[in-house]
Amino acid sequence: MASRGSTSSTNGLLPPLSNHDEEAGPGKAFDDDGIDPLTSDPFDIAHTKNAPLETLRRWRQAALVLNASRRFRYTLDLNKEEEKEQRRRMIRAHAQVIRAALLFRLAGERQIVLGPTATTSTPTGDYAVSLEQLASMTRDHNISALQEYGGVKGLSELLETNLDRGINGDETDLLRRRKSFGSNTYPQKKGRSFLRFLWEAWQDLTLIILVIAAVVSLTLGIKTEGLKEGWYDGGSIAFAVFLVIIVTAVSDYRQSLQFQNLNQEKQNILLEVLRGGRTVKISIFDIVVGDVVPLKIGDQVPADGILIAGHSLAIDESSMTGESKTVHKDQKAPFLMSGCKVADGVGTMLVTGVGINTEWGLLMASISEDTGEETPLQVRLNGIATFIGIVGLSVAVFVLAVLLVRYFTGYTKNPEGKAQFVHGKTSVSSIVDGVIKIFTIAVTIVVVAVPEGLPLAVTLTLAYSMRKMMADKALVRRLSACETMGSATTICSDKTGTLTQNQMTVVEAYVGRKRINPLGDSWQLHPVLSSLLVEGIAQNTIGNVFVPKGGGDMEVSGSPTEKAILSWAIKLGMNFDLVRSESVVLHVFPFNSEKKRGGVAVKRNDFEVHIHWKGAAEIVLASCTGYLDSSGCLQSIEEDKEVFKAAIDDMAASSLRCVAIAYRSYELDKVPTDEEHLAQWVLPEDGLVLLAIVGIKDPCRPGVKEAVKVCTEAGVKVRMVTGDNLRTAKAIALECGILATSEEATEPTIIEGRAFRELSEKEREQVAKKVTVMGRSSPNDKLLLVQALRTGGEVVAVTGDGTNDAPALHEADIGLSMGIQGTEVAKESSDIIILDDDFASVVKVVRWGRSVYANIQKFIQFQLTVNVAALVINVVAAVSSGDVPLNAVQLLWVNLIMDTLGALALATEPPTDHLMHRSPVGRREPLVTNIMWRNILVQALYQVIVLLVLNFWGRNILHLNHDNRAHAVEVKNTMIFNAFVLCQIFNEFNARKPDEINVFTGVTRNYLFMGIVGITFVLQIIIIEFLGKFASTVKLNWKQWLITIAIGVLSWPLAMIGKLIPVPETPFGNCFQRCTTARNA
């Protein structure tokens, strides 16, 4: 056995010895490992997210494991992270050599074809620069080589790229580029083959012992009884073992394929590129050399490249260099490495290297995707498996000792009633054969008693849930998040795009003191005002407007807010390209979620400098000293500030997002002239002139009110955290049902981020429980709220889409990033990606989280019932009669039903509405509840009584006294075996609904469950009727079949009656602990 065993008293069957709230987060009651120091139970890990390696190593060492390679397959490989870091350092030092070796190997495996450009540094083929020249320049960050090509402009000409419009992007052009420079893919390590899974399933120590015993039995049988009759005992055990191995391997292999598919989904990043003057969204795998890629905060650099232009561009290169500091990129340091993240600023890059011609590609090709990760439930189930295993092992040793003593003392009888061992008369081969049979039974009890499949059932249900969650628009990045969502007590949700549709349109606009109506009427604006307004909108944006050459509708790209404002400007007559050509951008201050505004400095053709700002209306308004009225005259804002504030409040009360657009003039001679000082120039943000205030409508998503109501009924509090002002936040919260009435909207229920930030840590913890809506919040405010809630014992799920949301996503128990609007940094920090950005999908994740937990409990109830019944029957029979009614082959078949088939049937139940009418699952609640204990005891007691009655008085009850004794015993044992298996088949239905009277609800819709039950029943008929020699059974007549079926069917009404028995709310484990404590006292 690959274990020392556990000294724990809990193992998930009982709650940990703690007086703290069972929902407790990582507060002071627990140490940094998430372990209650009072219990020091290695299996009591509340959260495996960011858990120390020592904690993870501790529970592995404590687990009782028969097959370590299989049991720990889906847990974190503790050595892999260190190995990955060593590879990263090696690739940085020897990239060229590694790439050459990899290319040679792949060519040998015929995975790629080495073209002429892969081995020569002279320009050949379709382009005036070769693959090796590009790879060498980028790898060595060789500025002089770049200058020899004429800088980025000269290099773009060699690559036939227009820096303003990108490549043509037609199929011929893309194929030519892939042929010359490769594709942005890398050879992935092949997943385990089916044969590997067969080999791992075979590693089970008890199965190996059984096979050895079968071989010895086979040899002795053939020697004593001849080939025709002597192979049955040994051959049937061997065949049963191989059947278990094959079914186990098939199940594991299917899971592996599901994880592979999910990993491919995780790697498929969508990003924007410029092709033919149009911004298009493509997969990262479709990037080619020569592509022009816009970069913004939070993006992943998709390939190696050269910076074309950028403003305040800072790159986090820690994924490649291992150094956490950000590196600023400009024309002096223009080289960008694939796999790094944009930490700040904006820019555009020219792609010069893709796939395995980049260091990131080499790294990805040399390491396999690590799917290993423990989940708290998996760890706890290993604790249960260890506890049951120790009991089962003790029982097996006891049975072995009893059977051996009875055998050698002559109390063990053969079917004819004669003693199997007579001193001095029984041959050595008969003794060996008898001992092997006894030993085989004891080992088989261990196989049944040690539930290897129990921890793996978590992986099975998680794999199933993850696949189904993809259909519900949720991509799981961390397995543990699936089950932790079942414990979530609060969801801190963004407003924009999650609760709302993220389809924004400008519906109100104030220019000067005048409201523009209709919105697209430019005649209401003075030419000077109109010119400044469209200049500010066109230049102070990361969006784009594409005008098709042949006519047709304009295509507006960018964030939803940018698109709404650009679309409004187009209605006012803005010619995007013309306006941008009339001025040159000097410096950009990208929109910042802390400051809630973004700015740009431009130099017009008449050498006048304008600084344009755009952002949260009340924040920009506070920086304004004047405004342009509708006649284009500059007016002081002091007297009219309240008018503008009232306009903002009115729009906010109508659920509109308010954005102000302002500008100021600046002296050209004050603008820094050298590049270094210009990059560090802080744009002036005082003395602004207000140009316009716009109100943008973002309607609530349909169904969001119902989704919030479902959460409330399920005991999950929904909190809204938004950057919008409090009035807008309040209006949306009322519309979504987060706030029930306007009367609720008082502090601290509705609070501003700044006010929350200024509280002390203890005050924040008190206030956080009451907060329902937080407006004008920064990402740091969201992080403080998450920390305060977790300290107060909440299990927190948080949504986020921006780069600055990463700390909150990382800190939360479950981080949910947005698939459409989310940045790559946010996605990498999250546990689950909501692919459609919809709050209703978040609620579906909660349902699935609860379903994972409920399914595992169903399987535990089913498995423990089988464990208890099988062990008691065999122990009582062994002690009393020296023989066991269930032989090795029969127990292996029961093990197959109980482990693999049972897990498939019960761990893949879809979620039901009933799950959302319960409170969240406490993270420290015992896995086996009082209700489950009641159900287990009722069923196990029934099975034990009925089968022991059959075992001791079966010959009389079944009127077999007149039959041949040997045949009567075979019929009786066959009846016991058949009744036992049928009890398990019918009990599978009971396990579906542990706390409901009607266990058949929705069963016909679960085709997998019905299929497995049907297959199990058919196979049982085949075993009894046609495989008598193999399973040591005899054919039963129709009356005997009816009796065994009736015994099985009786478990249904018995379960219904049993569910009427009341159970205390306090877990039995707590009562046991109190008794123990009182006795010790």
Q: State the pLDDT at residue 779.
A: 84
Under the phi-then-psi rule, with left for phi > 0, alpha for psi from -120 to 50, and beta for the rest, what region is 657?
beta
Nearest to 657 by CA among 709, 688, 710, 697: 697
Q: State the pLDDT at residue 288.
A: 94
For 309, phi then psi, to 5°, come to -155, 150
Q: Which residue would you say has higher pLDDT here, 45 or 682?
A: 682
pLDDT > 70: percent of the chain? 83
| Banded pLDDT at 6 (limits 50, 70, 90) | very low
Residue 1004 CB contacts under 8 Å (≥ 6 apart), including other chains? 1010
Under the phi-then-psi rule, with left for phi > 0, alpha for psi from -120 to 50, and beta for the rest, what region is 216?
alpha
Nearest to 905 by CA among 843, 872, 859: 859
Q: State the pLDDT at residue 457.
A: 74
Q: Give the Cα separation of 730 and 773 in Å (integer).
A: 7
- Is the separation of the CB atoms in 389 and 447 below 8 Å? no
pLDDT > 90: percent of the chain? 32
At what angle are helices 1051-1058 and 965-992 packed, to 10 degrees?
40
Q: Give the Cα separation of 449 and 874 in Å (integer).
A: 12
Q: State the pLDDT at residue 5.
A: 38
The pLDDT tens digits for 531-557 are: 999 999 999 998 888 887 766 778 888
| Banded pLDDT at 17 (limits 50, 70, 90) | very low
Q: State the pLDDT at residue 110.
A: 46
Mean residue pLDDT across the chain: 82
DSSP class of residue 37 equals T
Residue 38 has pLDDT above 60, yes or no: no
Nearest to 343 by CA among 383, 313, 369: 313
Residue 809 CB contacts under 8 Å (≥ 6 apart), including other chains? 798, 800, 815, 816, 817, 826, 829, 830, 831
Q: What is the mean predicted confidence (pLDDT) over 662-680?
A: 87
Residue 116 has pLDDT above 50, yes or no: no
Q: State the pLDDT at residue 539.
A: 93
| Banded pLDDT at 325 (limits 50, 70, 90) | confident
Q: State the pLDDT at residue 71.
A: 59
Q: Which residue would you say has higher pLDDT here, 74 or 759?
A: 759
The pLDDT tens digits for 865-885 are: 988 888 888 888 877 876 778
Q: State the pLDDT at residue 456.
A: 67
Lowest-pLDDT choice from 732-736, 946-950, 1065-1069: 1065-1069
Residue 642 has pLDDT above 70, yes or no: yes
Q: State the pLDDT at residue 720.
A: 93
- For the chain, how many helices (H) and strands (E)? 39, 26
Residue 37 has pLDDT above 80, yes or no: no
Q: Give the Cα separation of 11 and 383 in Å (integer).
A: 4
Residue 31 has pLDDT above 70, yes or no: no
- Both tokens of 393, joined, read 């092992």
Nearest to 688 by CA among 776, 777, 754, 597: 597
Q: Give the Cα separation of 444 and 391 in Å (integer).
A: 14
Nearest to 586 by CA among 311, 308, 295: 311
Residue 36 has pLDDT above 50, yes or no: no
Residue 13 has pLDDT above 70, yes or no: no
- Is the separation of the CB atoms in 782 and 800 below 8 Å? yes
Nearest to 704 by CA among 805, 837, 818, 822: 837
- Both tokens of 944, joined, read 């034990």
Around 582, how many Cα atoms within 13 Å sit in the side-chain half-sphere?
16
Q: State the pLDDT at residue 20.
A: 34
596's enclosing H/E stretch is: none
| Banded pLDDT at 819 (limits 50, 70, 90) | confident
Q: Give the Cα separation of 614 and 657 in Å (integer).
A: 13
Lowest-pLDDT choice from 209-218, 783-792, 857-866, 1024-1033: 209-218
Q: State the pLDDT at residue 416.
A: 67
Q: Give the Cα separation of 1044 and 38 in Å (integer).
A: 49
Nearest to 1050 by CA among 985, 956, 957: 985
- Both tokens of 280, joined, read 């298009």
The pLDDT tens digits for 208-229 are: 777 887 787 787 777 766 777 6
Q: Which residue would you say has higher pLDDT here, 567 or 744?
A: 567
Residue 257 has pLDDT above 60, yes or no: yes
Residue 251 has pLDDT above 80, yes or no: no
Q: State the pLDDT at residue 403.
A: 85
Q: Which of 123-137, 178-192, 287-301 has the highest mean pLDDT?
A: 287-301
Residue 917 has pLDDT above 80, yes or no: yes
Residue 983 CB contacts under 8 Å (≥ 6 apart), including other chains? 869, 939, 942, 943, 946, 1047, 1048, 1051
Q: Please give the distance of CA 1069 from its chain centroid, rounded to a whole number.
A: 32
Q: Give the Cα separation of 836 and 840 in Å (integer).
A: 10
Lowest-pLDDT choice from 30-34, 266-270, 1012-1016: 30-34
Around 1019, how many Cα atoms within 13 Å sit in the side-chain half-sphere?
16
Preceding omega of 748 cis (within 30 degrees of 0): yes
- Both tokens of 1071, joined, read 């009562």
Q: Which of 140-154, 962-976, 1035-1049 has the highest mean pLDDT?
A: 1035-1049
Neighbours of 767 (CB within 10 A): 18
Residue 468 CB contacts under 8 Å (≥ 6 apart), including other chains? 848, 910
The SS3 of residue 289 is: coil
| Banded pLDDT at 565 (limits 50, 70, 90) | very high
Q: Give the Cα separation of 309 and 349 in Å (integer).
A: 7
Q: What is the pTM of this model?
A: 0.77
Q: What is the mean predicted confidence (pLDDT) over 778-795?
A: 91
Q: State the pLDDT at residue 438.
A: 83
Q: Give the Cα separation of 748 and 759 in Å (integer).
A: 12
Indicate the Cα dihedral angle 830, 836, 837, 841, nearest 10°.
Answer: -80
Residue-by-residue DSSP string for 633-692:
-EEESTTTHHHHHHHHHHHHHTTEEEEEEEEEEE-GGGS--SHHHHHTPPPP-SSEEEEE
Lowest-pLDDT choice from 389-403, 450-464, 786-800: 450-464
- Both tokens of 290, joined, read 């020569």
Q: Give the Cα separation of 971 and 1044 in Å (integer).
A: 12
The residue written with tokens 């069923």 in the block is: 939
Lowest-pLDDT choice from 121-125, 420-424, 498-502, 1063-1067: 121-125
Residue 1020 has pLDDT above 90, yes or no: yes
What positions carry a catalytic annotation?
494
Q: Give the Cα separation of 873 and 876 in Å (integer).
A: 5
Instruction: Report, in angstroms and rounded to the nearest whole number, the Rg of the chain calculated over CA atoms.
Output: 35
Residue 107 has pLDDT above 70, yes or no: no
Q: Give the Cα separation of 333 and 796 in Å (integer).
A: 42
Q: Give the Cα separation of 837 and 474 in Å (integer).
A: 9
Residue 625 has pLDDT above 90, yes or no: yes
Indicate the Cα dihedral angle 20, 24, 27, 28, nearest 10°.
Answer: 10
DSSP class of residue 195 equals H
Q: What is the mean predicted confidence (pLDDT) over 1009-1021?
A: 93
| Banded pLDDT at 567 (limits 50, 70, 90) | very high
Q: What is the mean predicted confidence (pLDDT) over 679-695?
A: 91
Q: What is the mean predicted confidence (pLDDT) over 75-96?
A: 60
Residue 788 has pLDDT above 90, yes or no: yes
Q: Give the Cα separation of 204 and 750 in Å (integer).
A: 58
428's enclosing H/E stretch is: helix 428-449
Q: State the pLDDT at residue 292.
A: 95
